[in-house]
Amino acid sequence: MADAVRRAVTIEPGTVEPGSVRVRGYRSGVLVADADPPLLVWEHRFYPQYFFSPGQVRVELRPAGPGPRSPSLGPSEMLDVVVGDAVLDGAARRYPQAPVEEVRDTVTFDWSALDTWLAEEEVVHTHARDPYVRVDAMPSGRHVRVVAGGQVVAESSRPVVLVQSGQPPRYYLPRVDVRMDLLTPTGTVSYCAYKGTAAYWTVRAGGLELTDVAWGYDNPLREGLLVAGLVCFWPEKNADLEVYVDGERVQEP
């Protein structure tokens, strides 16, 4: 099982490279930025951000004073973004002292300040996509059993295994193989740029109440289509949740 974990490419903060596709950002239907391609800048190691040169910005930017210092890019300057009659306070920033010279005249936008991001014609969710992340979902014949407090919560020999770069494999089970009467929706959601929006359940079984230890995607993005409507369990969330794959208990990665 341990060998099944796919390792992600290690990207150091401050890494800069050209993107490979056209990226556009909109606010209220107004084109704010359009680059073919933008720069990809890893301000931190988790995922890149899109940076645009002055000629790729389609709206007015107004200086708004100094901003926070980035450990990898240095001090920032905040910019107000003028979109029609609206002014988005501090919604853009630049790093005039960035270690990589080509970054110094570019700007990046707060992701949530723009309501639509497109890579080519596909909507990008949550944050910029990392070109080094791969997501594979495939039908599997492994036997998966989930137990809480000695009670079987789910058992299936037809899971879909999903492997994402740098993450342990996850086993998604058909709902007919899950005791859905033991699961209660919690209202918790999480967002993934590659799979979409997940909703969570609490498991009540064997005298235990384990909060947010199961999740699923009803309407996943392209990479996660095979797990639509399935249920995945999260043993790292609570040690009282036991997940077995082919008889071997899944350990915390």
pTM of the model: 0.83
Residues pairing with 50 in the sheet:
40
Q: What is the pLDDT of residue 4?
A: 38
- 112-169 pLDDT, tens per residue? 999 999 999 999 999 999 999 999 999 999 999 999 999 999 999 999 999 998 889 9
**Res 251 pLDDT > 90:** no
As a whole number of Å, the end-to-end CA separation of the chain is 10
Q: Which of 152, 175, 166, 149 is nearest to 244 (CA)?
A: 152
Q: How many CB atoms lie within 10 A of CB 218?
A: 11
pLDDT band at residue 47, thresholds of 50, 70 and 90? very high
> What DSSP character marks residue 47?
-
| Residues present in the chain in total | 253
Average pLDDT, rounded, for the chain: 93
| SS3 state of residue 248 | strand
Element (H, E) at 126: none
- Maximal C-alpha separation, the chain: 62
